[in-house]
Amino acid sequence: MKNLLTGNEAIARGAYEAGCLVACAYPGTPSTEILENVSQYDEIRSEWSTNEKVALEVASGAAIAGARSLVAMKHVGLNVAADPFFTIAYEGINGGLVIITADEPGMHSSQNEQDNRLYALHAKVAMVEPSDSQECKDFTKKAFGISETFDTPVLIRMTTRVCHSKGIVELEEREEASIKEYTKDTSKYIMVPANSKPKHIEMETERIPKLRDYSNTTSLNSIKYNDKKIGIITSGISYHHAREVFGDNASYLKIGFSYPLPDKLIEEFAEEVETLYIIEENEPYIETFVKAMGIDCIGKEAIPICGELSPQIIKESLLKEEENEILKLDLNIPIRPPALCAGCPHRGIFYEVSKYKNKIVSTSDIGCYTLGMAPPLGVGDTCICMGAGVSAGIGFDRVNQMAERDKKVFGFIGDSTFFHSGITGLIDAVYNGTNMVVVILDNRITAMTGHQENPGTGKNIIGQEAPMVDIESMVKTIGIKQENIRVIDPYKLDETKAAVKDAYEANEPFVIITKQPCALIKDVQKKRKDLYCQVDQEKCTKCKTCLRIGCPAISFKDGEVTIDENQCNGCTVCLQVCPFDAIEFNGESR
Amino acid sequence: MAKSILLVGVGGQGTILVSKILSQGLMKGGYDVKMSEIHGMSQRGGSVTTQIKFGDKVYSPSIDKGEADILIAFEKLEAARYLDHLKKNGILIVNDEEIYPMPVSSGLAEYPQGVMKALTDTIDNIKIIQATKIAKELGEPRCHNIIMLGSMVKFLGVKDIDWVEMIKQNLPEKVHKINIGAFKRGQNL
Ligand SMILES: Cc1ncc(C[n+]2csc(CCOP(=O)(O)OP(=O)(O)O)c2C)c(N)n1
């Protein structure tokens, strides 16, 4: 049977067909749908983990215990999981262990553009790079086999274009892989120096040479000779871009198994062709290897390191072709940046904090609430990585004190992010005596990545009830004093305002927890379907105060302020800021 | 040569459903198809694009500037924004709908005047569709996307694809009737 699948769906299908039994992940674009799809197969035990390090450790444990296991994450997730990644590489596995990294060339929704192929090289972990959906499925199955044959975890390196492009995939049956026998083997599974030293040597002298032989012979790496004037070495999506540009007018060495790289194949190919191009996205991973072999090639001196590759970029950089003729309009087109949704529960707190804008520094974090930095709210000085909303705030506060800057630090962090890596920061803030405010924005879901359950939502990945971790009691246990905790409804501005004032004036670590579910959660949408606000044009003085809350449902059009009833969910934040009582609430209840 | 279709709109307008129906239909019609939907933060009111390529064999899923055979815009500002992706003699199908981006609704920028006129003056093959208006008339504002679908399928240059069946496969039964009606309205525009 044929089906149209995204790369992510195809990975999930591959895991299913390969007899995978345990799968876990922490969500992150563009990887999220992998686990969402895996979880639809009853045969695979699927879990959202609290973060990527936990996910990889769970999968490692499962693999050692004897089951084929899979873990998926976005590129920056592998930074979080780097610690287990480097050491499970030494230990090897029992049941197959497949680790998926979904990289983001072009940064469609990420904070950096790291090329995780370098992680395979650094940690010496076998790596495959599928180029389309069919290969996503096939390579996943191969990866489990490679893992078990060579006793190594296998990294599958995906990129956004591969994850999120649909292509035709041939489906097959599941092959049941039974759970392997587990035998205690401390020299293999306990990495203390006495065991790690021989393991490292064994890796260098046995496993990697074997993998390199495999790389030279596997069908995952293949040469297609056409015209030999131009030879192209390429991998992943870049292969398809290159094929589109050069067609049969060039020869190709397509690399699907990319760590270790196939030295013999490369040598053979380079000898046959006249000019050798290396076409790869982001870092010169293949190119550096080829050049180190003493082979002449053209790569990053022509093709940009930054951004996503496309056929056009290849044409311009290698063939010096002109840009296509382009239709232009003489119009000033305003940008359409993402914004906090109408009814977003994050709006109220940012609005109240924005009144202190000149008296505070705000260290933000990653999630929908990062958008609080956008005008007109404009709350946010820094955003580095998950967790830094708390911990970068600690550092900022130290220096504010030293420099005698009269600026209080407000850190912002979402519920999912708090569980992921905010807890350790908060402990640090308490332990090291930090006079900062931490605002935990509990919207009862992992919203930014498309609504995944998390330890605070009371549900697991397949929607079953799960124990709910209570943020407030956790904060208390960590050592924030009861009088320094406010749990508020951010739809209620008076309550929110009072909490922000108390927080600003406090001289000890202070926590505000905002509680109101994301407006896009299906049940919330249903419940608030008939609620909306409306402007009374008679009373409206066009002072535009309501525009300062940055709600996309409110606009100033043809000389009137109007509220789009379809978008509005009756959160009433606008009504509460209106100085002239010109906004009315409609609907059953509030 | 593969044909390329670029769909653009604003998060929440239902572009992804249309792309899904289109690509499934094309697959059933025997074509190789690749579709990519890059939907980072789009749910939060940003621009959304999906790219579909089909033909005997498709390699790269990406559509570069000046390359799309058909540009389908669910909102007119987005049509203007992505016009540079349309081929010189390509077709633009645009919904006559205005959705303010955040900087405009908060008074920091202006929605440009005369977008439709500028588009009409620049492109030979343009089709303006009152999808939002017709959808309201039909009593289901959300089916504007299916009206757009109906209005564009004749430009694909493909035959014998049962689009109604594709709509049925992708939507819950209770909305079949209204959406099939919307599709047919679109076809006759
Ligand atoms: C290490 C890492 N993993 C995953 C992501 C992807 N990511 C960005 S924001 C986010 C979750 C945000 O959820 P939450 O903190 O609940 O905030 P919300 O979006 O609901 O406001 C995730 C998973 C990331 N940026 N970094």
Q: Which residue has the higher pLDDT, B100 or A429?
A: A429
Q: How far is the CA of A83 from the centre of ligand 1 (A)?
A: 20
Smallest CA–CA separation between A29 and chain B, in Å?
7
Asked if the model's pLDDT at residue A32 lies above 90, the reply is yes
Asked if the model's pLDDT at residue B37 lies above 90, the reply is no
pLDDT at B112: 95
Q: Measured between CB atoms, which of A166, A312, A340 is closest to B34?
A: A166
Instruction: For domain A530-585, give its CATH number from 1.10.3720.10, 3.40.50.720, 3.30.70.20, 3.20.20.210.
Output: 3.30.70.20
**CA max distance for chain B:** 49
Per cent of chain A over pLDDT 90 is: 94
Copy the structure tokens of residue A364: 């933000």
Q: Measured between CB atoms, which of B35, B45, B106 is closest to A376?
A: B106
Lowest mean per-residue pLDDT among A288-292, A371-375, A416-420, A460-464: A371-375
**CA max distance for chain A:** 83
Asked if the model's pLDDT at residue A90 lies above 90, the reply is yes
Answer for the pair A180, A124: CB distance below 8 angstroms, yes or no.
no
Q: Which residue of A has its CA nearest to B19?
A: A166
Answer for the pair A414, A438: CB distance below 8 angstroms, yes or no.
no
For B70-106, give one letter per residue: b (16+ CB within 10 A) or e.
Answer: bbbbbbbbbbbbbbbbbbeebbbbbbebebbbbbbbb
Copy the structure tokens of residue A265: 């194949």
Q: Which residue of A has its CA nearest to B13?
A: A567
Asked if the model's pLDDT at residue B39 lies above 80, the reply is no
Amino acid at residue number B159 = K
Classify A346-524 by CATH class. alpha beta
Domains A2-217 and A221-319 belong to one CATH topology = yes
Give the C-alpha separation, A189 to A63, whole Å: 11
Give the C-alpha separation, A6 to A401, whole Å: 51
pLDDT at A589: 54
The domain locations on chain A are 2-217, 221-319, 346-524, 530-585
Give the C-alpha separation, A299 to A288, whole Å: 9
- Residue B114 has a CB neighbour count (10 Å cut-off) of 12
Interchain proximity A334–B112, CB inside 8 Å: yes
Lowest mean per-residue pLDDT among A412-421, A467-476, A477-486, A581-590: A581-590
The residues in A 412-471 lying below 8 A from B, measured between CB atoms, are 448, 450
If pLDDT is split at 50, 70 and 90, which confidence band does B44 have?
low
pLDDT at A325: 83
At A544, is the secondary structure helix, strand, or coil?
Answer: coil
Give the C-alpha separation, A367 to A425, whole Å: 17
Smallest CA–CA separation between A542 and chain B, in Å?
12
| Chains A–B, number of C-beta pairs less than 8 Å apart | 169
What does CATH list as the number for A2-217?
A: 3.40.50.970
Q: Are strands A583-586 and A532-535 parallel, antiparallel or unpaired?
A: antiparallel
Mean pLDDT of chain A: 96
Amino acid at residue number B117 = K
**Mean pLDDT confidence for A318-341:** 88
**Mean pLDDT confidence for A230-240:** 98
For A183-193, give one letter per residue: b (16+ CB within 10 A) or e.
Answer: eeeeebbebee
**Mean pLDDT confidence for A285-297:** 98
Does A542 contact chain B (CB < 8 Å)? no
If pLDDT is split at 50, 70 and 90, which confidence band does B45 have?
confident
The residues in A 561-580 lying below 8 A from B, measured between CB atoms, are 566
pTM score > 0.90 for this model?
Answer: yes
The residues in B 80-119 lying below 8 A from A, measured between CB atoms, are 80-81, 83-84, 86-88, 100-112, 114-115, 118-119
Indicate the DSSP class of residue A176.
Answer: P
State the best of B44, B53, B97, B125 to mutate against chain A, taking most chain A CBs within 10 Å.
B44
Q: In what order do the strands lie in the sheet with A22-25?
A: A45-48, A22-25, A69-74, A97-103, A154-159, A126-128, A257-259
**Mean pLDDT confidence for A379-408:** 98
Give the domains, in start order, of chain B with CATH numbers: 3-187 (3.40.920.10)
Instruction: Return the bridge partners of A155, or none.
Output: A99, A127
Q: Which residue has the higher pLDDT, A184 or B14?
A: A184
Asked if the model's pLDDT at residue B130 lies above 80, the reply is yes
Asked if the model's pLDDT at residue A45 lies above 90, the reply is yes
Q: Compute the CA torsion angle B55, B59, B62, B65 (nearest 10 deg).
A: -70
Answer for the pair A159, A104: CB distance below 8 angstroms, yes or no.
yes
If pLDDT is split at 50, 70 and 90, which confidence band does A259 have?
very high
If pLDDT is split at 50, 70 and 90, which confidence band does A196 have?
very high
Q: How many residues does chain A have?
A: 590
The residues in A 383-412 lying below 8 A from B, measured between CB atoms, are none
Q: What is this model's ipTM? A: 0.93
Does A123 contact chain B (CB < 8 Å)? no
Domain at A221-319: CATH architecture:
3-Layer(aba) Sandwich (3.40)
Cβ < 6 Å from ligand 1: which residues?
Answer: A 26-28, 52, 74, 76-77, 80, 366-369, 386, 414-417, 441, 443, 445-449
Sign of the Cα pseudo-torsion (A310, A297, A300, A81, in order): positive
At A526, is the secondary structure helix, strand, or coil?
Answer: helix
3-state secondary structure A111-153: CCCCCCHHHHHHHCCEEECCCCHHHHHHHHHHHHHHHHHHCCC
**Mean pLDDT confidence for A551-560:** 90
**Mean pLDDT confidence for B144-172:** 95
Smallest CA–CA separation between A460 and chain B, in Å?
23
Kindly tell me the burial class for residue A557, based on how many C-beta atoms sit within 10 Å of its own C-beta (0-12, 13-18, 19 or more).
middle
Q: Measured between CB atoms, which of B10, B66, B80 is closest to A324?
A: B66
Q: How far is the CA of A386 from the centre of ligand 1 (A)?
A: 7
Amino acid at residue number A337 = P
